[in-house]
Amino acid sequence: MGSEITTVRILRRDILHRGSGYEKETARIKSECLLARSRIIRLDRYGKQLALSSESGKVLCIHLGMSGQLQYLPTKSRLENNRHVHCIWTIRGPKSSGRLIFRDPRRFGGIWVFATLDELHISRWSRLGPDALDIRSRSLFQQLIRTRKSIKSALLDQSLIAGVGNIYADECLFASGIHPSRPSNELSTVEVTRLAKHLRKILQNAIRAGGSTIHSYRDGNGEVGTYVSKHQVYGRAHMPCVKCRRPLCRTTIAQRTTVFCSTCQRAEN
């Protein structure tokens, strides 16, 4: 906090979007909109989206999507690989200076500019479901009862629950003993309570461990995550289940690879 963005380098323009409050301007998004020469006074997070608020009130929302990552590189460190880098902010802070680097190989994420934090809440964050990182069983139950789609699709649907990606959806369903194709509204309260508990625990542990190295995830300091070693199902199709030793199954749900144990994850209530 209190850091100043001195310059912004935009390498790819099609990831930039104008949020509400900016609609009347037709000119292309300038580096000032991306907070060049601004002091950052506040940082917020909701699900997989981050918001940087500047002294002037302007807000930048960075959506990590499915494969996006933000990396902080201190001034003296070299950027070893600039593949899929879309935007670089140079930051001068009270304690350290460096660059904030946004990459997104699959380009499902992006950057949105807003005139105010309220505009961001109204046009984007109010449409998201409760944040998975601290979700309670009652609110998870209220979201799931509304839909017949499979529990795996529901977990990936950010408007129902925000912040769960493909890896952690599989891990949480395995830990909770719930088959990924189960209709969401048919889960029992006991199962939903178990799922809420594992969502909080697994996501909080993953953040503490620096995320996952799958898809070359790096944390904000550029360190490669260590969580990959703890995956119980993701990336382990046809390998023995850690609980029952039978081979894990692989299928596709919501266009995403899904790995599960047909013995340990119950297909019925």
Q: Is 145 in the site for Zn ion (CB under 5 A)?
A: no
* Residue 243 touching Zn ion (CB under 5 A): yes
Q: Within 13 Å and on the Cβ side, how many CA atoms surround 3?
A: 22
Size of the site for Zn ion (CB under 5 A): 6
> Which DSSP string corresponds to 128-153?
S--BGGG--HHHHHHHHTT--SBHHH
Does residue 233 interact with Zn ion by CB under 5 A? Answer: no
Cα–Cα distance for residue pair 111/114, rounded to 1 Å: 10
Q: Binding string, 156-175, against Zn ion, x = CB under 5 A?
A: --------------------
Nearer to Zn ion, 28 or 243 (CB): 243
Q: Is residue 241 within the footprint of Zn ion (CB under 5 A)?
A: yes
| CB 227, min distance to Zn ion, A | 21
Q: Which is nearer to Zn ion, 114 or 174 (CB)?
A: 174
Residue 262 engages Zn ion in binding (rule: CB under 5 A): no
Contact assessment for residue 152 and residue 253, using Cβ atoms and an 8 Å cutoff:
yes
Q: Which of 43, 145, 244, 267 binds Zn ion (CB under 5 A)?
A: 244
Taking the least distance from each CB to Zn ion, the nearer of 28 and 230 is: 230
Beta carbon nearer to Zn ion, 127 or 243: 243
- CB nearer to Zn ion: give 135 or 151: 151
CB 102 within 8 A of CB 250: no
Give the interface with Zn ion as residue ranges (CB under 5 A). Answer: 241, 243-244, 261, 263-264
